[in-house]
Amino acid sequence: MTTDERVPVTVLTGFLGSGKTTLLNYILTEQHGQRIAVIENEFGEIGIDDALVLDAEEEIFEMNNGCICCTVRGDLIRILGNLMKRRDRFDRIIVETTGLADPAPVAQTFFVDDEVRAGMRLDAIVTMIDAKHILQHLDEVKPEGVENEAVEQVAFADRLVINKTDLVDADELAEVEQRLRGINAMASVVHSQYGKIDLSSVLDVGAFDLDRILEVDPTFLVETEHQHDDRVTSVGIELPGVVDVDRLERWLGNLLATKGADIFRMKGILRVDDDDSRFVFQGVHMLFDGRPDRPWRDGEDRTNRLVFIGRELDRGELTDSFAACLVRR
Amino acid sequence: MSTLTDTRLRWQRQMADHVECLSVSAAGQVAAGSLSGESVVLSIEDGTILATPAEHPFGVLTVSWSRDADRLAVGGQDGRIRIYDGAGGAIADREIGGWAAASAWSPDDDLLAVAAGKRVFLIECDGSVRAEWPALTSTVTSLVWATNGRRVGAGCYGGVTWYDPDEPETETRNFAWKGSVLALAAAPSGRWLASGNQDNSVHVWRLWSGDEMEMTGYPGKVTRLGFDASSRWLAVASAAGVTVWDFAGKGPQGRRPSTLDRHDGEVTALAWHPTEPLLATGGADGNVAIWSSGKRFVLEGLVGVGDGTVSSLGWAPGSQTVVAASSDGTVAAVERAP
């Protein structure tokens, strides 16, 4: 197996006041022995010890690739492209988004631009949650056609950091957590106070490595009653069997063409044909990446596992249409 | 008739980091800027250092010689543009805010256009600012002068803004197009303007009429393209080699491009000779290829210039020498056998 030498990138999202900057400062001042470049919106271009903090003004580019929801961050393509050329490469890059940012263009940047893809890998989208105010943000009613950014940021996350847990009691915290899981069952949840956290739980998450999917809380695979009328939910599919690659490609192609705008994130580990290796795929809206992964280990459970997070997902339909890609049960 | 082996490496020099930009003057001075922040002026004869411009912390992004070799502009990620005379003497040092992503002297050498963030500045050769145009909607990636010096174009997301340097206050003409422009080329004839784009395409405008056409299907984003001195050929570098479009007569519509592919992997740099029918290409394989263009394109030479990816190429005017810069910090001069 070859190791992935691409520079890991952590995308840090969260509403204003959720504690992103506090976490960032904590990461930068902790002793971790890594050279970190931070791309954010407020500071000028200055070096802090071993870190380089770069200023970026969000520039959203629509791509002319026939994909209606494909937007990327033009400023990130430029800055990441420049960072990658340097001999003195960074060990890690953190991209902080503005409080109201839609995470999709950031994530899609890592799928669309060849240079970025070649040199960097999206390690995880980490979303900071203000325990005290998140429910209010999630419940905010938006005008027709306008997204609730808080819901999007939760839906896109690989890791949810519930911050300011000292400001809520145990019941409130449990309610917050349940609500977050209702939207995004794939992300793992960690708690923090004053932005202090075990750095390994937000850096080197390897969420886009997909192994994480196996560690996901299995409860989300079961249909749960909706506590709220959330339109954004997670659907997990777990089915044994062997996947026919042609059928899979046709299915995903159709699915993304018709539902891509509503599917925020998807991941899967599949047993394909009679390959000895796992087949992994992941996607953001209409963009997806599928490839053979490491070989199955002896005795490893070869059940196909897929997760979709999106708007108005039909669990039954997704499960049935995936089942039709299986060649034997 | 020369053979492949006649093309030779004249000299090689090492800089501290990835060489991002290169400009060769008519007097044989090679300016090169590195992402270490260092820039140098080397002699085309043997690569000796003629001058060392001041450092630009975080990296040099643009160097450009005026055609009369009397002015050198160096700009970097520190948001500064500096102007030097032909001997390396400092003339001006200006803060322009934002990365100085591109710079280009006007054909009559009296004005420097500089892109900084979303703005384009027009600077006189004494360093004073003639014009500072209002911010565009996104960051300017590329600049190009019309050969007659009457217009300067700025590429960004949303198309090309076509400024009039003589009347900077008047409304500018825009070649709007919904896409992200990464590189620009103007035909010396004044007939065509071409852009290389993020969405794996080349967009072309007929300047007189504003008519547009598009070449799509490149395997990656297009960052390197250029018209030859005769304005007949537009060369485009990509992962699938170099495609050369024939702009004779009514233009390339309905014609198949020639494909030049002698690099192992992606073609990452190209430069047409300023006066002769010669094209230099550089690749991720670290090689520089020289092609002559006539009825067909013929490979004249292929020389390795280091272990890195060739990032930039520039011909020394009036000579048969092309200078190559590389991601491993190499600057090298390759001479085509006469």
Asked if A99 and A37 sit in the same domain, the reply is yes
A155 and A259 part of one domain: no
pLDDT tens string B306-317: 899 999 999 999
CATH code for the domain in which residue A47 is found: 3.40.50.300
Across chain B, how many H-helices and E-strands are there? 0, 30
Confirm if A151 and A183 have CB atoms less than 8 A apart.
yes
CA angle B181, B274, B37 (to 5 degrees): 60
Reported confidence tier of residue A209, pLDDT bands at 50, 70, 90: low
Please, which pLDDT band fits residue A230 given cuts at 50, 70 and 90?
Answer: low
pLDDT 10s digits, B12-66 = 999 999 999 999 999 999 999 999 999 999 999 999 999 999 999 989 999 999 9
A111 in a structural domain: yes
Cα separation, A274 vs A37, whole angstroms: 43
* CA–CA min distance A289, chain B (Å): 16
pLDDT in tens, A237-285: 989 999 998 999 899 989 988 888 899 999 888 998 777 888 888 888 9
Verify that A123 and A223 share a domain, yes or no: no
Chain A positions touching B37 (Cβ under 8 A) are: none
DSSP-assigned letter for residue A97:
P
CA distance A88 to A127: 29
The pLDDT value given to residue A34: 83
pLDDT in tens, B74-101: 999 999 999 999 999 999 999 998 899 9
pLDDT above 80 (res A140)? yes
Average confidence score pLDDT of chain A:
83
For a pLDDT cut of 70, what percent of chain B falls above it?
Answer: 98
Q: How long is chain B?
A: 338
In tens, the pLDDT along A178-208 reads: 999 889 988 889 998 877 888 888 887 775 5
Contact B59 A82 (CB under 8 A): yes
What phi and psi, each to the nearest 5 degrees, are found at residue B132?
-135, 105
Identify the domain boundary among A176, A209, A242: A209
Rounded to a whole number of angstroms, the distance between the first and last alpha carbons of chain A is 30
For residue B2, pLDDT over 50 is answered with no
DSSP secondary structure code for residue A208 in this structure: G
Distance CA B306, CA B61 (A): 21
- What does the alpha-carbon distance between residue B126 and residue B109 come to, in Å, rounded to a whole number? 12
Could you tell me what percent of chain A has a pLDDT over 70? 86
Domain that holds residue A236: 219-328
Mean pLDDT of B142-157: 96
Alpha helices in A4-73 (DSSP H): 20-29
B87 touches B75 (CB < 8 A): no
Contact check, Cβ <8 Å, A45/B77: yes
Number of domains in chain A: 2
Question: Is there a domain that residue A320 lies in?
Answer: yes
Query: Does A221 touch chain B if contact means CB atoms closer than 8 Å?
Result: no
CATH at residue A241:
3.30.1220.10
Same domain? For A191 and A170 the reply is yes
Instruction: Give the contacts of B53 (CB within 8 A, at least 6 positions apart).
Output: B31, B39, B40, B41, B72, B74, B82, B84, B88
> Does B29 reach chain A within 8 Å, measured CB to CB?
no
Given A61, A63, A85, which is nearest B35 (Cβ)?
Answer: A85
Which backbone phi and psi does A71 adopt, to 5 degrees?
-120, 150
- Please report whether residue A63 resides in a domain: yes
Using the predicted structure, report yes or no on whether residue A50 has a pLDDT greater than 70.
Answer: no
The DSSP-derived string for B187-217 is -TTSSEEEEEETTS-EEEEETTT--EEEE--
Q: Which two tokens stand for residue A20?
A: 């992103």
Quote the mean pLDDT of chain B.
94
- A159 shares a domain with A93: yes
A203 and A223 housed in the same domain: no
pLDDT of residue A1: 39
pTM of the model: 0.88
Is residue B169 predicted with pLDDT exceeding 90?
Answer: no
Clarify whether residues A233 and A187 are in a common domain: no
Q: Which of A98-112, A148-162, B43-57, B288-302 has the lowest mean pLDDT?
A: A98-112
> CB distance B18–A61 less than 8 Å?
no
DSSP B110: S
Q: Are A19 and A164 in contact (CB under 8 A)?
A: yes
Which of A209, A240, A265 finishes a domain? A209
Q: Do B221 and A63 touch (CB under 8 A)?
A: no
